[in-house]
Structure 1
């Protein structure tokens, strides 16, 4: 993995390295295609549904909530989750864990009736006409540009993967008119879209004291309010760049909102190796390894992030969200966003001092009004039943053959 990442970094700055990487990947894709052809000799298990999230790195996001909804239907499906060895996950009875390894992934996909994934499949992945692929994606209606919208900034391989997956996918799920438009343009996707919300955001309609107690007990923070700090990934940023002045931030929350506060820090999956460097204390807990990000968002009383689309999930219910983006100018030049950060409803800070001031001076009434305006602007449609709508589609396909 480290060698691959190093090669990708070289490829971003060297045409020779990019060409070498592209040729290597085409060879890999040919091998993937060959193995799918071989495993297609095996019959399809008409009851098998395979789930994957973040290339096997997490048991969560949209696929998790779809699999939970399927379990409740008691249809006796063979529900399979692909997870990398070492990923901690408490799978309920009725879900079968399979290691996310080269051969296992191909074997399970080639013999399943339905695929559900939050990420793109590799080039060379082959789907039979008796199968369907449900692409849930893992972002919301967009802060960071994605897919083909990034233009020439992307490697040649990436520009091939999106159209390839657009042809593979039979269904995408969306929570807004804006997100649907992004999918169609950025992924070159012309297929069916269910615009009933993000399955993971169904959780915001079901928050209860049991979940709050579960999180508080897990982190030993009973009776405390939670500020979740969840920065996104970007090249060249390690743990040192994500540092908050935790004492000042916690004091600011206590001054503005009252009660005792603690910060849960959760790094992006691409930064997971840095999580051991988080310095825990009475004011800070490391939440990077906690398996379900959505549960943290549901229970958190406030959110601090930078460019992560989790901020858009978080305001499904308009709780306070604050932006801490010390590299804003550089980030917008390198990556590009769908919205200027200053146009969003969230108080924006470029320094710890500004973040502290924004928390203390938080205007709840104005904030709620601005959040409502954003929801209208993007055509948000979070129904609380997105998982059920996808499950109905799956059951209709398995039982009646309807795509």
Structure 2
């Protein structure tokens, strides 16, 4: 074990600095394959800083999702915490001044992971530095609690073996995981390979606090419309499909022009569509065609803000439907590749038991839009909530941070 001195100018900061200068002289491929594992093992022995927190969103995609709202709540309650964010390209997101960005593939990222008291993540991914007993790991799983898709152990035979190994390890080191509803709680118990001491925190999702607390706030609505360049008088449809494991584009072939025409006739107002692909396949957005009425929103920084700013959702198998359900906004399901998706990924019976209009063709979707009745939709939504309670009450971030602080005091 390396000896760590407490003298000024030495210690863990000096050890990190020395490794950083050494790595700069080594080819990146050699570093990733040979040196990174060694550096990770050595950094494991560095002392943990009690006021340091390491956050990550979709493996470096930027500032967003549950980690964003938890970090903001932590800073609000105790600004003495050092908040670090692992990111691929910090220029693609706006970060508060109090958050320190770190390249996710850098030596510094390993150092921050090794010395942070708290890890906050929202997907199951690689943990290049071994977690210490004194560190706290909070998994804030990004998907909402509809329980539609087969994931983790429910889809183990269809998932990449490398991912399964990472997910199982993630479950074994998890101290707490956030659940937003009864179905999600059951999913975690059944399929997430959690260790017996992991706490399932029935707080709701911190990112949904923003929706619950602002759904009727006309001022916030107007501010968001301006922020994203959305016109006040236009009815905006958010099209947010999930990803395909094989990166197929077949499921995305909606008749956008016909959808716009149908809604325009029904509502007697201008209609536009904002397309937002899943972060896992954001690169595929370049393959879709856009114009003044069909907008590429894939790289807008915060999907919660975008959801609040839009009036309606069209999706296929994505849990974002739960966010719109929470706000009582219309949701239309159009699964153009249903049979193929079921064969390749799999769906649970819950998918076919939802309050949303379910369609499998463009023609069915158009007919569903024409027949849509908001009162009937809300009635079905309320019935669904009674059978499948959600835990979102607008205070998830607050409860989560209270749990973090309490656990930190114990460790």
Q: Normalising by the residue count of structure 1, what TM-score does the alignment of the two structures yield?
A: 0.87
Q: Determine the structure 1 residue equivalent to 2:159.
A: 154
1:1-400 mapped onto 2 (5 Å cutoff): 34-85=38-89, 88-122=92-126, 125-141=129-145, 142-189=147-194, 190=196, 191-207=198-214, 208-217=217-226, 218-239=228-249, 241-339=251-349, 341-398=351-408, 400=409
Shifted more, 280-289 versus 371-380: the winner is 371-380
Shifted more, 288-297 versus 348-357: the winner is 348-357
Q: Determine the structure 2 residue equivalent to 1:24.
A: none
Aligned length: 375
**Per-residue Cα deviation, 1:303-324 (whole angstroms, up to 9, x for no partner):** 0000011111221122100011
What is the CA–CA distance in structure 2 between the aligned matches of 1:236 and 1:152, rounded to whole Å?
15
Look up the SS of the partner of 1:221 in the other structure: coil
In 2 relative to 1, CA 51–396 (structure 1 residues): closer, same or farther, beyond 3 Å?
same
What is the CA–CA distance in structure 2 between the aligned matches of 1:351 and 1:87, rounded to whole Å?
39
What is the CA–CA distance in structure 1 between the aligned matches of 2:126 and 2:325, rounded to whole Å?
33
What is the CA–CA distance in structure 1 between the aligned matches of 2:33 and 2:368, rounded to whole Å?
49
Look up the SS of the partner of 1:66 in the other structure: helix
What is the CA–CA distance in structure 2 between the aligned matches of 1:216 and 1:280, rounded to whole Å?
19
Shifted more, 283-292 versus 309-318: the winner is 309-318
Question: Could you tell me how far 1:29 is from its partner in structure 2?
Answer: 9.7
What is the CA–CA distance in structure 2 between the aligned matches of 1:188 and 1:291, rounded to whole Å?
31
Question: Could you tell me how far 1:42 is from its partner in structure 2?
Answer: 2.5
In 2 relative to 1, CA 386–31 (structure 1 residues): closer, same or farther, beyond 3 Å?
farther
What is the CA–CA distance in structure 2 between the aligned matches of 1:325 and 1:140, rounded to whole Å?
19
What is the CA–CA distance in structure 2 between the aligned matches of 1:280 and 1:88, rounded to whole Å?
21
Conserved? CA contact 2:251–2:335, under 8 Å: no
Look up the SS of the partner of 1:252 in the other structure: helix
Question: Could you tell me how far 1:137 is from its partner in structure 2?
Answer: 0.8
**Per-residue Cα deviation, 1:166-203 (whole angstroms, up to 9, x for no partner):** 22110001011221111122112131111010111111
Question: Could you tell me how far 1:340 is from its partner in structure 2?
Answer: 5.2
Question: Could you tell me how far 1:32 is from its partner in structure 2?
Answer: 5.9
What is the CA–CA distance in structure 2 between the aligned matches of 1:360 and 1:298, rounded to whole Å?
23
Question: Could you tell me how far 1:338 is from its partner in structure 2?
Answer: 2.2
Question: Could you tell me how far 1:124 is from its partner in structure 2?
Answer: 5.4
Question: Could you tell me how far 1:382 is from its partner in structure 2?
Answer: 1.2
Q: Determine the structure 1 residue equivalent to 2:17.
A: none
Shifted more, 79-88 versus 204-213: the winner is 204-213
- For the pair shown, which has the larger CA radius of gyration, 1 or 2? 2
Shifted more, 30-39 versus 356-365: the winner is 30-39
What is the CA–CA distance in structure 1 between the aligned matches of 2:225 and 2:314, rounded to whole Å?
19
Q: Normalising by the residue count of structure 2, what TM-score does the alignment of the two structures yield?
A: 0.85
Conserved? CA contact 1:341–1:348, under 8 Å: no
In 2 relative to 1, CA 376–54 (structure 1 residues): closer, same or farther, beyond 3 Å?
same
In 2 relative to 1, CA 145–102 (structure 1 residues): closer, same or farther, beyond 3 Å?
farther
What is the CA–CA distance in structure 2 between the aligned matches of 1:316 and 1:275, rounded to whole Å?
27
Unpaired segments of 5 or more residues in structure 1?
1-27
What is the CA–CA distance in structure 2 between the aligned matches of 1:89 and 1:180, rounded to whole Å?
31
